[in-house]
DNA sequence: CAAATAGTGTCTCTAAGACAATATCGT
DNA sequence: ACGATATTGTCTTAGAGACACTATTTG
């Protein structure tokens, strides 16, 4: 058998963040064909010369096209077929990244955050990719600490709870939430650091324990690939 | 920017089955380079001309190389990099299939079932792929009905429980198991059908309800992509 | 009826949610 | 002291597991 027809190999990254307590996705204005000028997910070719893996390519694309280095980058799924890209039979490895909104610079035209609940029409099969990302994040948030990636370095428990609620789209029980966070043992109170300003009791600030900074706890469900 | 260097696009399928109450994986003797003669996962190029998607390619490979049409075929993850295939920078979309052992014809030399707990050395990164498949199946079995794909058409509850225990590698509570199966409402007793032969009470035979034949219940955890 | 496995009833234990009391701020 | 939000204590409830009992077959 001979080498088959080359296949277009790309990566696409769904970068999710929280704005106004709603999940938003980063969209970039495409600067070349196909779909030049349209808003789309950051994406690009896998470069055999530059990349050591598809994940490397995703990180590179995110850095080059959006100037972002995300601490969380997870492979979602791979989408493929003859019809998803007008250039021909293509295959795209989709990734999902999470970032606190504070670390995200968006300028009006080129980079935009759009709420995932009201997306514009997207080129390729990017709508399906965003759907898969949101579903994955929701699902993992039910049993893992994934939403901490949407908070900054320091956060209060009420704030973290609000983030969980925003991601899950439903209220969570306060007592159970705190019990769970306590059991997980991933957070530590920042000594002496508390919120201030409101006309009410200040809240304790927490941060991820060092051991968990770069290793998200999945409760050993073995879901992550 | 010009089109980048072509990338080798393949699929690999981890077909798991149960033999002697242990998970086994199907390995084929490779008939061409690289690694001709070695045992490896069924795999092959994605054909832009023939396949409508990578999943199609996986189904085709399984059919052509092993003569199998699996009712369950799930995308696992995509593995890529310059070093995993001696032919060059390659990308493989890995799939996981499940099949009852009765439907699997293995001849001594060309096709073999090997226990996942004692795998021979495998070419490429096939060992990692099998690991990912086993992990995924174990994980999903904790909250879904996935193991029914390892049983045949009809099965008893004690048998199904044994399958769960084999997959999970730990005993499961009989009462809870039956309660759960009952709640799920996916099984139905086959009227009048019972096991026979043993010197003991016969067991009721069950089958998947029609609604669930081709739609595995994931308990709405939204894990599947 | 004895042995063996199938199927069920029920108690206990654990985890999650509801509810409400207490704590600590700014005004 | 009052309003507001944070934090904690405890009761209730739902689900999972332990255990033991009943049921049905063959020899």
Mean of pLDDT values over A101-130: 93
Mapped onto helix, strand or coil, the DSSP state of residue B58 is: helix
Rounded Cα–Cα distance for residues A13 and A27 (Å): 10
Query: Which of B164, B170, B136, B135 minimizes the C-alpha distance to B149?
Result: B164
Residue A105: pLDDT above 90?
no
B 143-182: CB within 7 Å of strand C: 156-158, 174-175, 178
**CA closest to D9 C1', residue:** A175
> Which residues of chain B lie closer than 8 angstroms to A32, CB-CB?
1
Rounded Cα–Cα distance for residues A30 and A11 (Å): 15
Confidence of residue B218 (pLDDT cuts 50, 70, 90): very low
**What percentage of chain A exceeds 70 in pLDDT?**
93
pLDDT at position A41 is 98
Rounded Cα–Cα distance for residues A5 and B196 (Å): 56
* Cis preceding linkage at A34, omega within 30: yes
Confidence of residue B223 (pLDDT cuts 50, 70, 90): very low
pLDDT at position A218 is 45
Question: B53 and A138 in contact by Cβ < 8 A?
Answer: no
State pLDDT tens for residues B58-70: 999 999 999 999 9
The more confident residue out of B71 and A8 is A8
Using a CB–CB cutoff of 8 Å, tell me whether B170 touches chain A: no
Using a CB–CB cutoff of 8 Å, tell me whether A2 touches chain B: no
State pLDDT tens for residues B159-175: 999 999 999 999 999 99
State pLDDT tens for residues A23-39: 999 999 999 999 999 99
**CA closest to D23 C1', residue:** B201
Query: Which of A206, A215, A203 minimizes the C-alpha distance to A144?
Result: A215
- The alpha carbon of residue B87 and the mean position of all alpha carbons in its chain are separated, in whole angstroms, by 27
State pLDDT tens for residues B19-64: 999 999 999 999 999 999 999 999 999 999 999 999 999 999 999 9
User: Which domains, ranges and CATH numbers included, belong to chain A?
Assistant: 8-121 (3.90.79.10), 146-212 (1.10.10.10)
> Which residues of chain A lie closer than 8 angstroms to B135, CB-CB?
222
Residue B225: pLDDT above 80?
no
- How many Cβ atoms from other residues are within 10 Å of residue A215's Cβ? 9
Residue B214: pLDDT above 80?
no
How much is the mean pLDDT over chain B?
A: 91
Q: In this structure, what is the dihedral angle of CA atoms B72, B76, B79, B84, given to the nearest 10 degrees?
A: -50
- What's phi and psi for B66, nearest 5 deg? -125, -5
CB A25 within 8 A of CB A16: yes
pLDDT at position B86 is 97
Angle (nearest 5°) at CA B172 between B199 and B120: 95
User: How far, in Å, are B24, B108, B205 from residue B36 at the CA level?
Assistant: 22, 17, 45
Residue B17: pLDDT above 90?
yes
What angle do the packed helices B126-141 and B157-168 form, to 10 degrees? 130
Using a CB–CB cutoff of 8 Å, tell me whether A142 touches chain B: yes
Rounded Cα–Cα distance for residues A145 and B49 (Å): 43
pLDDT at position A124 is 96
Among A70-79, A170-179, A214-223, B54-63, the minimum mean pLDDT is found in A214-223
> Which residues of chain B lie closer than 8 angstroms to A49, CB-CB?
4-5
The more confident residue out of A1 and A118 is A118
Rounded Cα–Cα distance for residues B98 and B186 (Å): 18
State pLDDT tens for residues B139-152: 999 988 999 999 99
B 190-209: CB within 7 Å of strand C: 198-204
Question: B32 and A7 in contact by Cβ < 8 A?
Answer: no
Among A8-22, B95-109, B202-216, the minimum mean pLDDT is found in B202-216
pLDDT at position B124 is 96
pLDDT at position A222 is 37
Confidence of residue A67 (pLDDT cuts 50, 70, 90): very high
Query: Which of A23, A11, A42 minimizes the C-alpha distance to A114?
Result: A23
Residue B222: pLDDT above 60?
no
**CA closest to D4 C1', residue:** A200
- How many Cβ atoms from other residues are within 10 Å of residue A133's Cβ? 27
Question: B4 and A76 in contact by Cβ < 8 A?
Answer: no
Unique residue bearing structure tokens 């690009």? A44
- Beta A90-98 vs A72-81: how paired, if at all? antiparallel
Residue B215: pLDDT above 80?
no
Q: Which residues contact B112 (CB under 8 A, 6 or more apart)?
A: B26, B27, B28, B29, B39, B106
Query: Which of A16, A8, A212, A7 minimizes the C-alpha distance to A95?
Result: A16
- Beta B8-19 vs B90-98: how paired, if at all? parallel
Using a CB–CB cutoff of 8 Å, tell me whether B36 touches chain A: no
């Amino acid at each position: 058998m001979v080498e088959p027809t080359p296949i277009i190999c790309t990566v696409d990254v769904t970068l999710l963040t929280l704005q106004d307590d709603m999940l938003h996705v980063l969209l970039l204005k495409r600067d070349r064909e196909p779909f030049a000028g349209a808003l789309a997910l950051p994406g690009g070719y896998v470069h055999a010369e530059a990349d050591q893996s598809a994940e490397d390519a995703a990180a590179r694309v995110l850095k080059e096209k959006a100037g972002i280095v995300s601490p969380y980058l997870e492979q979602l799924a791979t989408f493929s077929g003859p019809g998803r890209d007008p250039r021909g039979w293509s295959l795209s490895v989709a990734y999902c990244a999470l970032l606190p909104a504070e670390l995200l610079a968006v300028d009006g035209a080129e980079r935009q955050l759009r709420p995932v609940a009201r997306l514009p029409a997207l080129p390729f099969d990017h709508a399906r990719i965003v759907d898969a990302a949101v579903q994955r994040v929701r699902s993992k948030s039910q049993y893992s600490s994934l939403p901490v990636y949407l908070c900054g370095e320091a956060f209060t428990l009420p704030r973290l709870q609000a983030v969980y609620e925003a991601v899950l789209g439903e209220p969570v029980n306060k007592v159970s939430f705190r019990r769970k966070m306590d059991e997980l043992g991933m957070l530590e109170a920042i000594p002496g650091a508390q919120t201030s300003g409101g006309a009410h009791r200040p809240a304790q600030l927490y941060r991820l324990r060092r051991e968990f900074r770069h290793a998200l706890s999945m409760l050993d469900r073995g879901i992550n690939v």
